[in-house]
Structure 1
Amino acid sequence: MDDFIRGEIDAEIIEDDDSSIYLSIGDLMSGLLMFFALLFITALLQLAQKDVPKRVVIGNVVGQMKSNHINVKVNPETGDISIQESILFAKGSTELKPEGKAFLRSFIPVYSGVIFSKKEFEQEISRVVIEGHTSSDGDDKTNLQLSLLRSSSVYNYIFYEMNFPTKTPLSQKILAAGRGEIESDKYDNPGDRKVVFRFQFRSDELKKDIVKTSL
């Protein structure tokens, strides 16, 4: 009889120990979930704060283009400025038209002026890429070469034939690249033939780092 009672007591003790272990694990998991939730919320707040300088820069670019009557397409989310082929080049050509040179003379001083108008703008924009783009008409290799030569023509004209107050600092941020037909429609679309001035924002780079850290 005593052995039976002792066995029941031992079983109850084991059950109590198991319950304590399960409760401890549950509390630990709840704590971890709470920690990661707070970490995620903090990351979201940091991402929102990092977007502020970027939006201010883009807003200033849009405003200056309008106030100086420079007719370009500005992406309000990225700040990308698209300049259609017809403004800069004859179809299939890599040589800037006189009208294209005149456009760059009016556009570049204003565009560059925004970048260096404030220290925080200059710091926020890590790089500017002049991208050549083509439509899907023609073969890949030819289009890639055409796009690169066009972006190089724009770059060379800006830095070898133009003079403007922020020329030297801009030269340290800018590069030319050819994208060919990578971003073009499947069918030939004249709107795909363009040169794009694309910002690379420091806040975007930081956002990627924050996301990686929070995962």
Structure 2
Amino acid sequence: MAIVVEHDKRKHEILQKSLDVFIDEGYEDATFQKIADRCGITRTTLYIYFKNKHEIFLGSIKELLSGLEVTLLDIAGNTRLTAKEALIQILHEIIKSCTENKKLFSVLLSYLIQLKKSGQDPNERVRRRVIKLRHLMSTIIIRGIRAGEFKRLIVKNMNELIYGLTEAAIFRLAVLNEDSTKEILDAMELAITSWEV
């Protein structure tokens, strides 16, 4: 049992340290050797934990997002918050996380461009990664409608608006290299406020 725990702990450490390699080097220039060097292990040892760079990259992203997911679920589960308050807090957490990991989103963008060049569908990859987030936002919107907080609008359209504004914020941070997301957050809050009864 101790071996499994140690294996999982080492894998977690590799994923955390590999994020720095991807941020520093970019997806294309990050190599198995550079990741192994950053982790203080050999490439052979790294192969015990991961098959390739792609698997490490996706594991690193998942590791980063899992912490954010726990925070968002806590906010969504807080029954003392109105639906509007919960949505706004969730959006602030998402934008805060994006701001803190701005360089990583640049790496993610280059990874998605590389996928597209290789004939794969980057939209499908992104869609699979954000499905829980979109479900969470829909759940809160439905809660707000049922509680009489929000107008009876089409949930899918409400979700799409908020998600689109979130994508715009990520684009501004990762591609345009803007530091402020205040305008996007203000637009998100305005959209949510306009749904109120």
TM-score bracket, normalised by the shorter chain, equals 0.3 to 0.5
TM-score by length of 2: 0.32
Greater share of helix residues, 1 or 2? 2
In terms of Rg, which structure is larger?
A: 1
Larger relative CO (CA 8 A, sep 6+): 1 or 2?
A: 1
Greater share of strand residues, 1 or 2? 1
